[in-house]
A and B are shown apart, each in its own frame.
Chain A
Amino acid sequence: MTAVAAHTDHHDDHHHAPHGLKRWLFSTNHKDIGTLYLWFSFAMFMIGGLMALVIRAELMYPGLQVVDPEFFNQMTTVHGLVMVFGAVMPATVGLANWMIPLMIGAPDMALPRMNNWSFWILPFAFTILISAVLMSAFGEGNPSAPNFGWTFYAPLSTKYGPASTDLFILSVHMMGISSIMGAINVIVTVLNMRAPGMTMMKMPLFVWTWLITAFLLVAVMPVLAGAVTMMLTDRHFGTSFFSAAGGGDPVLFQHIFWFFGHPEVYIMILPSFGIVSAIIPTFARKQLFGYASMVYATASIALLSFVVWAHHMFTVGMPLAGTLFFMYMTMLISVPTGVKVFNWVATMWRGSITFELPMKWALAFVVLFTCGGLSGLMLAMTPVDFQYHDTYFVVAHFHYVLVSGAIFSVFAAAYYWLPKWSGVMPNTFLGELHFWNSLLSVNLLFFPMHFVGLAGMPRRYADYALQFADYNYWVSIGAVRCGASQILFVIVCVLCAMKKGQKAPAAPWEGAEGLEWTVPSPAPFHTFDTPPVVK
């Protein structure tokens, strides 16, 4: 015990907090780096959102009005990449940085310098990627940005890829390195830095889900790096991994990509499960129902995610036995996921529920994520997937789980922990406006996509048949309103950052449990220099 205290003292010999730009550039403090991650991901969310609005502006009416189809393809591609790698993933890494040390009673992350590095790679990676879009929009001759869809299937991205594909490859490599380092940091912190008495099975679920997410990241981000490396050598060094002419196989690309891609889906959603499992017990004023089953369910989802990848490729012509295997494995995932949803509902059962902002977002998450899960179950069925494949039904499905799932849970987390981060309560009026506008518009935006998808509207096209016009009009209205609602959240965050608002006590939520509520609000620069004792 004393030795641990001595260790943390040693770490904090530069006890004064640096100021200005240097504070952020050279920061090794988990809270500052967490803040950087969160602001960065929010900036990316707005940029990716602007690209989505370009897409929706073009699709508002049938025919071509706003952009030409080439630029439209670049928008769908970069929107996906920015949202997945720039918005959702860094947002959850930011939450992990801020909350994991506070939740397990550690003074900081285990590897603070690496932490700094893993954040500061990201702005450069995305500058490279987005520079391709800027060059395409404003550069001489409008050289194409990546235009092959966020899944960058070969040969679209190898033989037929534009020159900017190499910018894309470099930036994906950098994002991968950043994610792997972030994940290693989380694992080392959780395994080695827990306060005395904080056994694994006492850890808050957010820590558990992030630990499992981190293992997924270490396992699959290198596979993504391998895939883009093969693309690079295919493009420039005469190899034929994905080129049939040289004996390779383009379908191999899809296997490698989805071996990364499916676990990636859970990398984005598992931290959300942790967030919701923290918020619902607080506002239901009951212990989380079935803690152990939640941990095991998360682990099972993570393990199953490695054996379902080919459900993204049912239409490539696999043998029947292969499609059946992937279909049943995929359906099996609904069992642990169902366990989670039932546990959340059981936690609320006969609880004394109040509907503060974080709870509203969490409830919206549970309902809308379940909608997305159910359409996922429909997509899992091989025979019907042949109809749904690459239609707007798929677009509706993954936006339900990612926008009203992952992103709503990040909003829930922000409203829940903003008092701890900033020391002031987020503005309730603006927050309510933000919530109700987002909730209504997100459904207007994504629900009709189910119908046009089932009716056969394919994704990734700049135009559509006239029969889809009415639905697309309303979808675009929903998109504009959804985008505009997020400006309210900018104001909420800026007000908190400026400390404008009602001052928050150390434990602002009545039913909340956990070590993070034992430190003052805002959390001081250094916390848990002496480890707390967990009973």
Chain B
Amino acid sequence: MSEQGLEQRNQRTVRKLVLGAVAMFGFAFAMVPIYDVLCDITGLNGKTNSTAADGAVEVDEDRLVTVQFVTVASEGMPWDFKPQVRSVKVHPGEITQVNFMVKNSADSTIVGQAIPSVTPGLAAPHLLKTQCFCFNHQTLAAGGEAEMPMIFYLDPALPKHINTITLSYTMFDVTGRVMENEDKLVAR
């Protein structure tokens, strides 16, 4: 155990530990995609599919499931955002259309993005949308109104104990973000 030996051993240990710390910093960021994948598999965060599903499954006439709709415009967003019906009763596999009404009561153009969330989370992977306004941004001019369709069906593999599903949409104001991106596209 020479002096050189101790110093070298210390440096080696420090190097390993610093590497460990840097790796754990990276791991914090790796948790983001890991979380997304886990949520996709388990429906942990109640997110539904973000692109259209194809709708060809057998209808299960024996079951009737209540689907409720909840809408919220995020804090400070001057949009009036409502579903046309508050709830529907559907058979799993049955294709259903629900319309959502939205009105921009501000005096400027606003771009909105609706984010869905399903409760209970376990039902999220089984609520499949063939068409949804939440797949895209919604742009409304000052005072503008729109009727936005959402077409969905329930996967018959929906766990038996689930009789009621709540689908919530939160409308976020993404005007700044979208405008910025468009400016960048124009600049290119």
Residue numbers of A with Cβ under 8 A of B are: 3-4, 6-7, 10, 110-111, 180, 183-184, 187-188, 191-193, 218-227, 229-230, 238, 241, 243-246, 249, 251-252, 255-256, 259, 317-320, 322
Contacts and interface: CB of A to CB of B under 8 A. Distances in A.
A256 B25 CA distance: 11
Interface string B13-42: 110011011111111110110010001001
A42 B47 CA distance: 47
A295 to B, nearest CB: 20
B46 A317 contact: yes
Contacts of B29: 226, 230
Given A245-B173, A249-B35, A255-B31, 16 more contacts: A3-B1, A3-B3, A4-B3, A110-B10, A184-B17, A188-B13, A192-B10, A192-B13, A193-B6, A221-B24, A222-B27, A226-B29, A243-B172, A244-B172, A252-B31, A319-B122
Given A218-B17, A245-B74, A10 B3 contact: yes
A6 B121 CA distance: 66
A317 B121 contact: yes
Contacts of A227: 28
What are the 7 tightest A-B residue pairs by CB atom distance, in nearest-first order? A226-B28, A245-B172, A222-B25, A222-B24, A7-B3, A223-B28, A244-B115
Contacts of A111: 10, 14
Interface of B: 1-3, 6, 9-10, 13-14, 17-18, 20-29, 31-32, 35, 39, 42-47, 74, 113, 115, 119-122, 170, 172-174, 177, 180
Consensus secondary structure, chain B interface: helix
A238 B24 CA distance: 24
Nearest to B18: A184
Contacts of B28: 222-227, 229-230, 256, 259
B31 A219 contact: no
A108 to B, nearest CB: 12
A259 B31 contact: yes
Contacts, number: 112
A223 B23 CA distance: 9
13 contacts: A180-B21, A187-B13, A188-B13, A188-B14, A223-B27, A226-B29, A229-B28, A230-B29, A238-B180, A245-B172, A249-B45, A317-B120, A320-B122
B178 to A, nearest CB: 11
A191 B1 contact: no
Contacts of A224: 28
Given A3-B2, A184-B17, A187-B17, A220 B24 contact: yes
Contacts of A222: 21-25, 27-28
A506 B1 CA distance: 30
Contacts of B17: 183-184, 187-188, 218
A223 B42 CA distance: 24
A535 to B, nearest CB: 19
Nearest to B7: A7
A252 B32 contact: yes
Given A6-B3, A110-B10, A180-B21, A319 B45 contact: no
A250 to B, nearest CB: 9
B21 to A, nearest CB: 5
Contacts of A252: 31-32, 35, 45
Contact of B177 (A191, A219, A220, A246): A246
B174 A246 contact: yes
B83 to A, nearest CB: 19
Contacts of B18: 184
B3 A319 contact: no
Most buried by B among A218, A225, A227, A238: A218
Given A3-B3, A244-B170, A218 B14 contact: no
A220 B20 CA distance: 10
A192 B2 contact: no
B20 A218 contact: yes
Contacts of B31: 223, 252, 255-256, 259
Contacts of A322: 42, 44
A318 B1 contact: no
B46 to A, nearest CB: 7
Nearest to B2: A3
Contacts of A7: 2-3, 6
B177 A238 contact: yes
Nearest to B170: A244
B44 to A, nearest CB: 7
B21 A245 contact: no
Most buried by A among B1, B26, B120: B1
Given A3-B2, A252-B32, A255-B31, A191 B13 contact: yes
